[in-house]
Chains A and B, each alone.
Chain A
């Protein structure tokens, strides 16, 4: 069984700062992490490998420094890591990204055997689009299974997989066919601590690094900015509201401040008091 896990190296978003004057992102010194949602995908892939045998290949597209995240994935216990990096990919939107990754997965298949399952995270924390997983599935003709909370059973020989999918208003129990692409829901498992042996191996392991040509990508018009149908025209900070917030006077006793606040609140929105009473009655 061969499983490919797509990961992305992202800035640790809690630490992103916006320059107060220019409104640009200050990237210097911002640490990077594996997109947290991807760890659920990686763990699920390794569980399937442990139960059914086979290999887990992690794949990322990004700048050369994205190697750090691949090495981290190896310390968790992935078997092999592929970095897809080329300046032709710069400025890719989700359509161009899924094109490049799909090609790389084809190449991975030619090199080490076609994967039965491709995993991705639910979405990334920097782009938040949730579009690259479905894009890869569509391009490779994989059964698309998003928002999966649980893999109930897998019959690799029969090419059948049962899983639980988070749908609107409930959970769908699905039976699908391999090969498939699965995006895992957060909280569906917990990433393992890699073993000491994994850490040693990861430190020495070669990272397979492919540029566009090495990954077998020929149509450069489908890559990077040129392959991206969407155009970002403007990046800006939202304008603050003209009227400033009314400050409630802080009194020595919190109870008095609370009292003053409630008076101010009902003065600004008199209807709230009856709304609250109704809600309280409704409880």
Chain B
């Protein structure tokens, strides 16, 4: 190790809170990056707008949406849509170079906007785009970035308190960026509720022109292959989800989960250890590092409910746990519990639901 003298006794950064440096005091307002992919705004942007509204109201500042996109790529429409979801301001950067997401161009533009208009809080969706962009923008600005937050709040001294799972999802921690601005955070899709759309709500569009040429961007997008009806999207936005965990004993028993999900017209998923064991593909993983879900009904079969799983399912209206262990952590968040072997219970539930639902659906079709 180092031969150098020991550093000053570490009191931890928490004890180093000092007055915010003078040049950061001008940083005001809450920003949400509005993510556009192929003309469509990602729903996570509106979910964040709802959350950003609450933060802005607590701080007594304005809420802004930041829209970066190509000409005629839906950017202008997205900017006016910001107001319906609660924004007071929409910053609009339209340029044909920005039609496709590329790290270099978007980092340059978002960094320029932050330096020009100085927000105190900048929120992005924890999508592949948002995480790719947030990491490089935070490094360029040398500010703090908290990934995958599950809760955002403003504390007494008006700092952003960003809570996220830590230690591989076994505990939660609250993180602050005390002496730097903007305070940046990403939030996964479906973690925050979708706010109601307010028709006719207005705001100010601030167009910002950037000097960016295609030649200056080294990375080229050769082509884009859209997914066929993505399983990922269906899982995050499904109304009914059935998931299995290690309690199922083996990959083959995930079929029991799929069967029940199919009868209920829902989607299926699994816990992280199942993916790590290779029982299911990563896109089926539910939890902090997988998909966050907010279904009307969530059935967890043989899942103990570690915090990293819990934060991904807490938004469900109703949670059912099938687990032999009456003390499993999943019971802390479940509304209904069946304390029995999931391998026995799943086929029985599948049959019972089939009998209960199918005649109704036939009746209705006939009617």
Q: Which residues of A contact B (CB under 8 A)?
A: 10-11, 13-14, 16, 18, 23, 25, 36, 64, 85-88, 90-91, 93-95, 98, 123, 125-126, 128-131, 133-135, 137-139, 143-147, 162, 166-177, 186-187, 211-213, 220, 224-226, 228-238, 240-241, 244-248, 250, 254-255, 257-259, 261-262, 264-265, 268-269, 271-273, 275-283
Contact = CB atoms under 8 A, between A and B. Distances in A.
B42 interface: yes
B140 interface: yes
Given A213-B2, A244-B331, A276-B240, 14 more contacts: A91-B10, A129-B147, A169-B37, A175-B219, A176-B218, A187-B282, A230-B144, A232-B174, A238-B332, A245-B334, A245-B336, A258-B352, A272-B297, A280-B264
Given A175-B219, A262-B356, A275-B239, A245 B168 contact: no
16 contacts: A130-B147, A134-B139, A135-B139, A143-B103, A172-B100, A176-B219, A231-B175, A232-B166, A236-B173, A240-B332, A247-B326, A247-B337, A258-B345, A262-B356, A275-B296, A280-B265
Contacts of A130: 131, 135, 147
A250 B340 CA distance: 7
A258 B132 CA distance: 45
Interface stretch (B58-66, B114-122, B315-323): B315-323
Contact of B174 (A135, A233, A265): A233
Contacts of A135: 135-136, 138-139
8 nearest interchain CB pairs?
A: A279-B265, A134-B135, A13-B168, A229-B144, A254-B348, A258-B352, A230-B144, A240-B332
* Chain A, interface SS category: mixed
Interface of B: 1-4, 6-7, 10, 12-14, 16-17, 35, 37-38, 40, 42, 100-101, 103-104, 107, 127-129, 131-132, 134-136, 138-140, 142-148, 161, 165-180, 218-227, 230, 233, 239-240, 262-266, 273, 276, 281-282, 288-289, 296-297, 307, 310, 317-318, 320-321, 326, 331-340, 344-345, 347-349, 351-353, 356-358, 360-361, 364-365
B7 A88 contact: yes
A234 to B, nearest CB: 4
A275 B146 CA distance: 37
B336 A265 contact: yes
* Chain B, interface SS category: mixed
A25 B170 contact: yes
Contacts of A138: 107, 135-136, 139-140
Contacts of A94: 135, 145
B122 to A, nearest CB: 13
Max count, chain A CB within 10 A of own CB: residue among B128, B240, B351: B128
A235 B357 contact: no
Nearest to B155: A233
Contacts of B223: 172-173
Contacts of A86: 1-2
Contacts of B3: 211, 213
A248 B310 CA distance: 21
A25 B361 contact: no
A265 B3 CA distance: 66
B171 A236 contact: yes
Contacts of B357: 273, 276-277, 280
B12 A144 contact: no
A260 B74 CA distance: 51
A14 B276 contact: yes
A269 B317 contact: yes
B222 A174 contact: yes
A276 B264 contact: yes
Contacts of B281: 187
Contacts of A228: 13, 144
Nearest to A85: B1
